[in-house]
Amino acid sequence: KSLVCSYSLETFLDKNHKLAFPMISLSDIPVADIKEYMSQYGSYLIGFSREWVIKNGFNPVWYCEKDNLALREHRKQLYQTINQRKNANLNITILALHYGAYIKDIEGPLYVKSKDITYSNYRFYDEREYRYIPDFNYLLQNNIKPALLEKEYDEYKKTNGNGLIKHSVPFTLDDIKILIVKTDKQATELKELIKGKNHSIHIFSHKEIKQSIIGVEHQLITEKK
């Protein structure tokens, strides 16, 4: 079992200047605050142990306001280097790529495919994102581009069917601490499936999270006679 790295297209300067970096993205959201996110990226959530996350090199992203002068200058220079294929010091370029892959705007537009809606000013900062970014020297040695322009990203997905690359981070069931599924029936079935297998995984349905942990949606709706 493993999490596979995939190119993620990030708005770099504005909507016309985007770069895709290979990464695995997680969120450090407390269970008590998770209500808004249970259906944001799908109805099923996996919670890994913090020890596994840190051991495997995940780190929090560096949130920054768009108007930060240092951020804009860094992004401008890096985008130009990649777009124009400038001859640049490889070590400096790789360092700039690592910085670029970890920096994220505090807020901006977000399209949510599961809901088919776009938030114009989604607050990314609230997600407390952690990223795993592969070593870019390793990627270059294996002929994997550490960053793609938007056009290259679209072509890559069209050719490969997705944005995945041949690099992953392994995990075991012991690394999982919580599973959240959509229905009570699914939660019951999963509990039976792992029963007696000596795994300390806590399994909840959406309703259990909302009612027993967050403390909302206790109301019962009955039809009028």
Query: What average pLDDT does range 46-51 have in this prediction?
Result: 95
When mean pLDDT is compared across 12-16, 55-59, 83-87, the lowest value belongs to 83-87
Instruction: Write down the pLDDT at residue 18.
Output: 86
Name the residue among 1, 3, 36, 24 with its Cα closest to residue 209.
36
Q: What global pTM score does this model have?
A: 0.83
Q: What is the distance of C-alpha 134 from the center of its chain?
A: 14
Question: Are 18 and 12 contacting, i.e. CB atoms less than 8 angstroms apart?
Answer: yes
CA distance 25 to 42: 14
Helix (H) or strand (E) holding 176: strand 176-181
CA distance 184 to 155: 41
For residue 191, what are the contacts with CB-CB under 8 A and spacing of at least 6? 203
DSSP state of 126: G
Instruction: Write down the pLDDT at residue 163.
Output: 95
CA distance 43 to 30: 17
Q: Is 8 helix (H, G, I), strand (E, B) or coil?
A: strand
Res. 169 pLDDT band, cuts 50 70 90:
very high
Angstrom distances, CA of residue 127 to CA of 25, 35, 62, 149, 171: 11, 12, 12, 25, 22
Query: What average pLDDT does range 156-180 have in this prediction?
Result: 95
Instruction: Write down the pLDDT at residue 15.
Output: 75
Give tens-digit pLDDT for 10-27: 887 777 788 899 999 999
